[in-house]
Amino acid sequence: MSSTSNRPASPARLPLLARMLLLPRTWAQARGDGMVEDRPVLTLLSHVVLILGVAIVAFPVYVTFVASTHTVQEVLAAPMPLTPGSHFVENYLTALERGAGESSAGVGRMMVNSLVSALVIAIGKIAISLLSAFAIVYFRFPLRGFFFWMIFVTLMLPVEVRILPTYTVVSDLGMLDSYAGLTIPLIASATATFLFRQFFLTIPDELAEAARIDGAGPLRFLRDVVVPLSRTNIAALFVILFIYGWNQYLWPLLVTTQESMYTIVIGTKRMILGGDAAVEWHLVMATAMLAMLPPALVVLLMQRWFVKGLVETEK
């Protein structure tokens, strides 16, 4: 297992920190798991690189947080302070209530808009994809292949390639500046439909047969068997789609003109318009923190489903 021959230094000659790190290593080896060989310096290097990586990844958010706890004068001083200030509560309350800069809409309102859109998008996508996949897997009917193909092709038509004409359709339907306009055009989902279809194909045929013999119709079977069996898939998809919905930018940018309909992501961006001097950076940064918080919490608290969802939606 271990090749001690090319070990760079004997533990006694290593600095204290390295010797401390040696302890868990030997313990791990006593358990017989983990590392192929015994290279304390490499292990130390691993931790150094990872800690550095974590620090760099966290740095922009740390600076944002610090800026959100100071007054605008302190933020504008070069260099701005790098430790949190004392205006946390004040800044966040101001942002939530009245927003920043020219914008008159409070961030609280924007967060409600974001929450409603994210929930409608996530639940809507899951619901209509579940129904479509159920129809495609459990029925034989004319044009089945054609419908499946139609759903598949939407993968190749992201909103970015049909910006203007989609806007026209939504505007013709009178859906601008409404929750319907923010969400319905986004709720078709080829990915979710595929995922459910794949999963339904693994459900044993015997279950459907048994249901039929017992006299249960398709909708009863869907409600009492298929949906409960799909619970983990639904949870995983929900995490991914909630983040997707919350983080939408281009679409809400097109369909919202009134500040009262802005999502928080749009709001954050709008607050920095109008030149450096006019921008209330401390409030913008508080808003940015609030914009990141809900999806980050979802990722952290539902990590298991998040990872499952990420991996599965890419299949």
Residues 225-254 that bind other proteins (CB under 8 A): 243, 246-250, 253-254
- Give the Cα separation of 303 and 80 in Å (integer): 34
- Please give the radius of gyration of the chain, using alpha carbons only, rounded to the nearest integer: 26
When asked if residue 301 is in the footprint of other proteins (CB under 8 A), the reply is no
Kindly give, in sequence order, each residue whose CB lies less than 8 Å from that of residue 178, ignoring residues fewer than 6 positions away: 261
CA 167 to chain centre: 25
The 84-123 contact track toward other proteins, x by CB under 8 A, reads: ----------------------------------------
Kindly give, in sequence order, each residue whose CB lies less than 8 Å from that of residue 199, ignoring residues fewer than 6 positions away: 230, 233
- Give the Cα separation of 111 and 107 in Å (integer): 6
Shortest Å distance, C-beta 31 to other proteins: 9
Residues 27-86 that bind other proteins (CB under 8 A): 28, 33-37, 39, 42-43, 45-47, 49-50, 53-54, 57-61, 63-64, 67, 75-76, 78-80, 82
Which CB, 25 or 98, lies closer to other proteins? 25
Q: Which of 169, 171, 179, 260 binds other proteins (CB under 8 A)?
A: 169
Q: Which of 12, 16, 219, 231 binds other proteins (CB under 8 A)?
A: 219
- Give the Cα separation of 94 and 264 in Å (integer): 15
Token reading at 260: 């009262």
When asked if residue 165 is in the footprint of other proteins (CB under 8 A), the reply is yes
Q: Which of 40, 99, 106, 185 binds other proteins (CB under 8 A)?
A: 185
At which residue do the structure tokens 């619970």 appear? 231
